[in-house]
A and B are shown apart, each in its own frame.
Chain A
């Protein structure tokens, strides 16, 4: 069970929404590349002794890690930023060939009001790149949509052995994150 201080979600706290939805889906592994947008969710998972938090050197490692965890009988999630999607492309052939469930939650860069244009090429190609590799995608730009989209994607990933990604837009994350 989640710790008591984590059980109440403030309206608009989409990081907490993600944590609670994933807990309700019995997610036991949280693989991630550190990211400001996901930091609240990462913190909640790292405080949770029932979930293994696995920090990666590159997003690509998360695909085979979660495949191995799934072979071993447990569910996981990959938290990452849009720039990391490019790092995953060939490794996604593992998921496509073996039909491992894969749930990716991707905070967007190069998407809206981006101050660093070096993020734009991959940010603009993120959704198409995922679709090219057979990953189903959804997009959340409002906090109230996050929980339902993550729940829906998790269901299709874990019940249908499919690769599913929810893109968390920069309008959701907020411009101010990058100026802190």
Chain B
């Protein structure tokens, strides 16, 4: 029996469509390439390292920019390395933060080893158990549209695991210059450097 899996580039492109003033953080590896492939943007913060830290950067952004939606797009492996941050984020409970885990069940950057989620660990239920307002496992593009509405509603702390195809796609590489990416976002937010 084969489940129909979503294509990661379609998913990320749909999530950032009509993004308005939303801030987006991408976890290292394929999520960073997916976000870039959807179109470079001043309000994107791409990670190339700091594995396990994407969700916490999202929390810092959400707490300092309560009027904006903040979206963290990351992989199952990256999120597994920062599982404690689920608890930290749930305690803070910002209503403008969504963690979207592109879950293919594999460590794609390192040779396609099965990840814990590929062996049955359900990250969205971890988020549920620590107190996220709304969690879901997403398996259709209709549900992605619904998620996009929820992201912009800014009325709940959300976490979704999105079942994506594990096929390899061409890499689309954003700048690896962390200072440039940082300063670009800070300027776009009207801060002096």
Instruction: State A61–B189 Cα separation when bound (angstroms).
Output: 24
Q: Does B1 contact A (CB under 8 A)?
A: no
Contact A72 B50 (CB under 8 A): no
Interface residue from B56, B63, B65 paired with A64 (Cβ < 8 Å): B56
CB proximity to B under 8 Å, residues A57-111: 57-58, 60-74, 76, 90-91, 93-94, 97-100
Instruction: State A97–B50 Cα separation when bound (angstroms).
Output: 10
Contact B85 A68 (CB under 8 A): no
A36 to chain B, nearest CB (A): 21
Residues of A within 8 A of B25 (CB): 68
Q: Does A156 contact B (CB under 8 A)?
A: no
CB proximity to A under 8 Å, residues B144-190: 178-179, 181-182, 185-186, 189
Residues of A within 8 A of B51 (CB): 90
Q: Does B3 contact A (CB under 8 A)?
A: no
Q: Does B129 contact A (CB under 8 A)?
A: no
Contact B186 A57 (CB under 8 A): no
Residues of A within 8 A of B85 (CB): 57, 61
Tell me whether A68 and B57 are in contact in the complex, defined as CB-CB below 8 angstroms, given that A52-B63, A100-B182 are known contacts. yes
Q: Most B CB atoms within 10 A — which of A28, A52, A66, A71?
A: A71
Contact B179 A98 (CB under 8 A): yes
Residues of A within 8 A of B191 (CB): 73
Contact A72 B49 (CB under 8 A): no
Contact A98 B181 (CB under 8 A): yes
Interface residue from A65, A74, A90 paired with B57 (Cβ < 8 Å): A65
Q: Does A21 contact B (CB under 8 A)?
A: no
Contact A61 B49 (CB under 8 A): no
Interface residue from A28, A65, A73 paired with B56 (Cβ < 8 Å): A65
Interface residue from B45, B59, B179, B186 paired with A65 (Cβ < 8 Å): B59
**Residue tally, chain A, CB below 8 Å to B:** 32
B129 to chain A, nearest CB (A): 14
Decide if the interface of chain B is mainly helix, strand, loop or mixed: helix
Contact B59 A71 (CB under 8 A): no
Tell me whether A99 and B182 are in contact in the complex, defined as CB-CB below 8 angstroms, given that A57-B87, A72-B61 are known contacts. yes
Residues of B within 8 A of A54 (CB): 59, 63, 88, 91-92
Instruction: State A54–B191 Cα separation when bound (angstroms).
Output: 24
Q: Does B53 contact A (CB under 8 A)?
A: yes
Interface residue from A71, A93, A99 paired with B49 (Cβ < 8 Å): A93
Q: Does B58 contact A (CB under 8 A)?
A: yes
Q: Which residue of A has the minimal Cβ distance to B51? A: A90
Q: Which residue of A has the minimal Cβ distance to B58? A: A68
Q: Which residue of A has the minimal Cβ distance to B66? A: A72
Q: Most B CB atoms within 10 A — which of A28, A54, A61, A90?
A: A61
Instruction: State A52–B61 Cα separation when bound (angstroms).
Output: 13
Q: Which residue of A has the minimal Cβ distance to B64? A: A72
Q: List 15 A-B contacts (CB under 8 A).
A: A54-B92, A56-B88, A60-B53, A61-B53, A64-B56, A65-B57, A68-B61, A72-B60, A76-B60, A91-B53, A93-B49, A93-B50, A94-B47, A98-B178, A100-B182
**Chain A residues near B (Cβ < 8 Å):** 28-29, 52, 54-58, 60-74, 76, 90-91, 93-94, 97-100
Identify 13 new A-B residue pairs, CB closer than 8 A, beyond the known A54-B59, A68-B63. A28-B64, A60-B52, A61-B88, A63-B50, A64-B57, A65-B88, A68-B64, A69-B64, A71-B64, A73-B186, A90-B49, A94-B53, A97-B178
